[in-house]
Amino acid sequence: MESLLGTSLGTYVGVTVLLMGLAAFLTGQAVAMIWRPARHVFGYAVLLALAARFLIFALFKGEFLAFPGIAIDYAVVLSIALGAHRLTHVAKMVGQYPWLYQRQGPWSYAARASGAAPVEGPGATG
């Protein structure tokens, strides 16, 4: 496992999953908050994966240019960022256009029926 990740599992989880995962989550939210499409997250995920690799290299004497490690870092960071983007996008669409869309779950929304009124508040009936 250490040869695949380029560092120990504990270091990988601490730096990539926790630290860069939080940064990826915030990046996905930020991209969605300014109404940018999800494709913008891909470039930011590359930078975050390289930052994770650099921190592992500089602080824990891990391998910097370990291609499998970079690819796994990228996949983890990208999935977290895309998930955050989708969650934020759904919340913004339902919150900003309640007369057009209704939430279908945390990951999706759907168009309202043409005659349906939006529900206002937790105890209101529509």
In a domain, 123, yes or no: no
Query: Domain containing 45: what range?
Result: 2-86
Residue 78 reports pLDDT greater than 60: yes
How many domains are there within the chain? 1
Residue 121, exposed/middle/buried by CB under 10 A (0-12, 13-18, 19+)? exposed
Give the model confidence (pLDDT) of 95-116 as tens digits. 999 999 999 999 999 998 875 6
Give the model confidence (pLDDT) of 23-34 as tens digits. 999 999 999 999
126 or 13: which leads in pLDDT: 13
**Structure pTM?**
0.85
CB 7 within 8 A of CB 70: no
In a domain, 66, yes or no: yes
Q: What is the pLDDT of residue 122?
A: 61
Q: What is the pLDDT of residue 56?
A: 93
In a domain, 99, yes or no: no
Q: What is the pLDDT of residue 70?
A: 92
Task: Work out whether the CA dihedral 18, 87, 77, 75 comes out positive or negative.
Answer: positive
Distance in angstroms (rounded) separating the CA atoms of residues 20 and 46: 11
Distance in angstroms (rounded) separating the CA atoms of residues 35 and 85: 10
Paired strand residues for 101 = 111
Give the model confidence (pLDDT) of 48-70 as tens digits. 999 999 999 999 998 888 888 89
